[in-house]
Amino acid sequence: MTATTTERPFAAPSLPSPRGPLSAGLFAALTTPGQAPPPVAGATAADPYGDDLHLALYALYELHYRGFDGVADDREWDPALMPLRQALEERFLAALRAGVPGGRSVDDAFGELLVESTDHSDSVAYFLEHDGDLGQIREYAALRSLYHLKEADPHAWVIPRLSGRAKAGMVAIEYDEFGAGRAERIHAQLFADLMTDLGLDTRYGYYLDAAPAPALAVVNMMTLFGLRRALRGALVGHFACVEVTSSPGSRRLAAAMRRTGAGAAAERFYAEHVEADAVHEQVVRREVMGGLLADEPHLEPDVAFGADVTTHLENRLSAHLLDAWRAGRTALRPL
């Protein structure tokens, strides 16, 4: 995991290495004129939490962000790719619905999140604060870079689907996430600065090949909720869950950076989130979530679902990381 540059030019990353027939067939279709994508049947039978499905879905979603070097921009909405993407999404979404309790209220979902657990055995932030070494912190940052180098982008898709208090609150939070008018304060730039402190490569998407399926699933969930208007309630629930839980975790991660001497920018990224997300938590609960449910009360089960799914997928990622680190292994796939 050696850094090769500290620059982050606005450039499309290279396609990653495939991890199975779905991703291999998709990458061939993206780079070979006239090549058909893999049949839908392969997606409907794939492991919904597996590497092949999530890499293929991640690549299809990335066409809506920066795309890939050598892949034409107009493939973003290529009708030939849509059946595969829908099949991958439905396979993943069905697993998520089966993996969390259904029909919960917002009070049920968020009542648990508002009280910090005294059991820290499954907390990555607690582990890194007290026991993690600099190598493990670098692995954590490398995996999180898949989201943090485009922080807040997936959530911006929900803005046109909101109105009134919910829209105003969401825009206020996103304004902070995007630097409040200052390019150097954009949270994605602050994370790139963190990566520079840690000696990591700051190029967008550089660590995609190193990211295991649990890390990809977290980012895919955000994009899935963002792109589907029908899942706007789930996106708001996810976003509220992130803001409610961010401040305590960020405080621990800032302490981890300080303890290991990771660097001033590394510590600053998480210190920034301690303060910002404590404020954002109040706005997202009262204005974004409260405003949405005042306008569309029938979306309450979806909001709870979004929060529960976020916890579910973060727990899967935490288990992957902690199992590897406690066994003395890397949590990254080999580059």
Whole-number pLDDT of residue 334: 86
Q: How far apart are CA 335 and CA 332, in angstroms?
A: 8
Place of tokens 């279709």: 29
127 closest CA partner among 271, 253, 314, 258: 253
- Give the mean model confidence (pLDDT) for residues 49-59: 98
Whole-number pLDDT of residue 251: 94
pLDDT in tens, 143-163: 999 999 999 999 999 999 999
**At 303, is the pLDDT very low, low, confident or very high (cuts 50, 70, 90)?**
very high
Burial readout 251-269 (b: 16 or more C-beta within 10 A, e: otherwise): bbbbbbbbbbebbebbbbb
Q: How far apart are CA 230 and CA 233, in angstroms?
A: 8
pLDDT in tens, 239-281: 999 999 988 999 999 999 999 999 999 999 999 888 776 778 8
So where are the chain's domains?
21-97, 104-326
Domain spanning 104-326, CATH architecture: Up-down Bundle (1.20)
Task: Give the whole-number percent of the chain exceeding pLDDT 90.
Answer: 87
Summary mean pLDDT of the chain: 94
Amino acid at 71: V
Q: Is the pLDDT of residue 8 over 60?
A: no
> Which residues have CB under 8 Å from 6's CB, separation 6+?
196, 202
Q: How far apart are CA 30 and CA 21, in angstroms?
A: 14
**At 114, is the pLDDT very low, low, confident or very high (cuts 50, 70, 90)?**
confident
**At 9, is the pLDDT very low, low, confident or very high (cuts 50, 70, 90)?**
low
Concatenating the DSSP letter of every residue in 263-281 gives -HHHHHHHHHHHHHHHHHH
Cβ atoms 292, 159 nearer than 8 A: no
Cβ atoms 145, 210 nearer than 8 A: no
> Which residues have CB under 8 Å from 230's CB, separation 6+?
none
Q: How far apart are CA 287 and CA 280, in angstroms?
A: 10
